[in-house]
């Protein structure tokens, strides 16, 4: 598998996958991803295995890689490509902690996503982040969860009125 930075030629395929793979309530405006992906503290990478097969979008912050999104095209799912994308990301940034938020509670989708990340070196932080009407479990790689840096990161890219809370479970 070959991974490269998002290019204008990737736009249509990535946008279609992005809109199909993530609920509207969890999607940022696609043009924001494109714009932020050009900055040094973001990775907007596409995976190819002869043809486009997936992408990830990541924010780099101190010792953290915050995984906003990772997706593979439907006919490539279950073939290990998502895992390969995560493996390459971990090899590219050894020692950095990758953090991902997955929906809560135990819906079938939550269970599948959780199992996927656990198979690829993530562990439960035993914490969730929540607001008034939403809740996500936090998983991470590489040692203890850095909750202080994580909260600073999360608060840095949201509106001033955004007031997330971390809670142990």
pLDDT recorded at residue 131:
78
* pLDDT above 70 for 52: yes
Report the pLDDT value the prediction gives residue 161, as an integer from 0 to 100: 65
Q: Which residue has the tokens 């809670």?
A: 167
Reported as a single tens digit per residue, the pLDDT across 135-166 is 899 999 988 998 889 988 988 876 666 777 88
Nearest Cα residue to 138 out of 89, 84, 100: 100
Alpha-helical regions (H) of the chain = 11-21, 30-36, 81-92, 108-119, 147-156
For residue 105, pLDDT over 80 is answered with no
Q: State how many domains the chain has.
A: 1
> Taking a C-beta distance cutoff of 8 angstroms, is the pair 33, 46 a contact?
no
Q: Taking 90 as the threshold, does the pLDDT of residue 133 lie above it?
A: no
CA 112 to the chain's CA centroid = 15
pLDDT at 26: 85
Task: Provide the pLDDT for residue 159.
Answer: 66
Q: Give the pLDDT confidence of 117-131 residue by residue, as tens digits.
A: 999 999 999 999 987
- Tokens in use for 33? 């991803």
Return the exposure string of 150-161: e unless at least 16 CB atoms fall within 10 Å of the residue's CB, then b.
beebbeeeeeee
Residue 98 maps to which CATH number?
Answer: 3.40.630.30
With contact defined as beta carbons under 8 Å apart, do 127 and 167 qualify?
yes
Range of the domain at 27: 2-168
pTM strictly above 0.85: yes
């Amino acid at each position: 598998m070959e991974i490269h930075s998002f290019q204008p030629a990737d736009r249509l395929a990535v946008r279609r996958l992005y809109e199909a793979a993530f609920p509207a309530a969890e999607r940022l405006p696609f043009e924001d991803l494109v714009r932020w992906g050009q900055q040094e503290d973001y990775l907007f990478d596409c995976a190819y295995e002869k043809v486009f097969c997936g992408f990830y979008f990541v924010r780099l912050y101190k010792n953290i890689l915050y995984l906003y999104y990772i997706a593979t095209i439907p006919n490539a799912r279950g073939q290990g490509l998502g895992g390969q994308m995560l493996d390459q990301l971990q090899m590219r940034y050894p020692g950095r902690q990758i953090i991902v938020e997955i929906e809560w509670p135990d819906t079938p989708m939550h269970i599948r996503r959780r199992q996927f990340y656990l198979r690829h070196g993530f562990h439960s932080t035993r914490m969730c982040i929540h607001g008034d009407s939403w809740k996500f479990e936090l998983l991470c790689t590489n040692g203890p969860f850095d909750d202080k840096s994580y909260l600073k990161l999360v608060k840095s890219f949201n509106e001033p009125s955004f007031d997330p809370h971390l809670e142990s479970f």
